[in-house]
Amino acid sequence: MTDQQQSALRTMLLCLGDDDFILGHRLSEWTGLGPIIEEDIACSSMAQDELGHALAYYSIIEDMTGEDPDDLAFKREVGEYKNAIFTELPRGDYGFTMMRQFLYDGAKSERLQALKESSHEALRDVATKILQEERYHWVHNTSMVQRLSGGTEESKIRMQAALDEAFAYALGLFESYEGESDLVDAKIAISESEIKQRWLNKLCPMLASYGLHVPAVKVGSDWKTEIVPKNGGRKGEHTEHMMNILDAMKTLQREDPEAVW
């Protein structure tokens, strides 16, 4: 692997790891607050999984560069994080959380399916392992979005509002990152535009079947949208919500710099 390809791979791994790391924190905010105990447990379990997935990506970076995963998680400045802004948005109501998870895990699953064929062995192995856990997330989140979208009139309104708010931010998950073309050429990853198209083709008909208005139309065999993506965050531009998350997450690290996660 060339130095240029390694740098690009590090960037992509930070995008993936930071997404899971920040969203895992957002999910953990439902611990003790879930609408029913089963959902309380489900969010806590998914949060734990997301943090474990982040560690797996950070560990590949450690093998390449020697950077400590704890340092990557807790000792960077806000502008050094490459998570999508979509993951740092406040948790909102439970409908928004479930819609975000549905959109996010749909994208994550498509990405992992592609990475299972990566020419990079460690990345291929991690993708295969994470995908096994993601199947459970996908089943849960799909079920909840379908149930809430087909529930009471209020729940339908809330789910439509959640989709309307989340969709443009979710498109930011596919923002190009530095060195993307190098990884595509080396068959380490596929392009973000390809992942986005697979995501649209999978999720849009599902959402429409739940009775929701999807801001996309089918053109030939593909779904297309004219919605302008929100700033993705891949270049280190974040909202004030990110600062609040990091302040909360770094409390222990500031008090005990030697602590490990």
Measuring CA to CA, which residue among 230, 128, 240, 114 is closest to residue 180?
Answer: 114
Phi-psi region of 115 (alpha: psi -120 to 50; beta: other; left: phi over 0): alpha
Query: What is the reported pLDDT for 251?
Result: 79
78 secondary structure, DSSP code: G
**H helices present in the chain, as ranges:** 3-28, 37-65, 69-74, 85-88, 94-115, 121-149, 153-171, 180-185, 192-209, 240-249, 251-255
What does the angle CA 257 – CA 260 – CA 261 come to, to the nearest 5 degrees?
Answer: 130
CA distance 128 to 117: 9
Query: What is the reported pLDDT for 30?
Result: 83
- Give residues with Cβ within 8 angstroms of 227, minimum separation 6: 167, 168, 171, 215, 216
The pLDDT of residue 68 is above 70: yes
CA distance 181 to 170: 22
Phi-psi region of 76 (alpha: psi -120 to 50; beta: other; left: phi over 0): beta
Is residue 155 within 8 A of residue 95, CB to CB? The reply is: yes
The pLDDT tens digits for 212-253 are 999 999 999 999 999 999 988 999 999 999 999 998 888 777
Measuring CA to CA, which residue among 190, 203, 131, 217 is closest to residue 163?
Answer: 203
The pLDDT of residue 72 is above 70: yes
CA distance 49 to 210: 27
Mean pLDDT, all residues of the chain: 94
- Give residues with Cβ within 8 angstroms of 52, minimum separation 6: none
Fold held by 3-255: Ferritin (1.20.1260)
| Segment among 26-40, 118-132, 234-248 with least mean pLDDT | 26-40
The pLDDT of residue 71 is above 80: yes
Per-residue pLDDT band for 161 (boundaries 50, 70, 90) equals: very high
CA distance 24 to 46: 7
Q: What are phi and psi of 218, to 5 degrees?
A: -90, 125
Query: What is the reported pLDDT for 35?
Result: 73
Per-residue pLDDT band for 260 (boundaries 50, 70, 90) equals: low
Query: What is the reported pLDDT for 250?
Result: 80
The pLDDT tens digits for 86-102 are 999 999 999 999 999 99
| Segment among 7-21, 25-39, 149-163 with least mean pLDDT | 25-39
Share of the chain above pLDDT 90, in %: 87
The pLDDT of residue 261 is above 60: no
Is residue 174 within 8 A of residue 227, CB to CB? The reply is: no
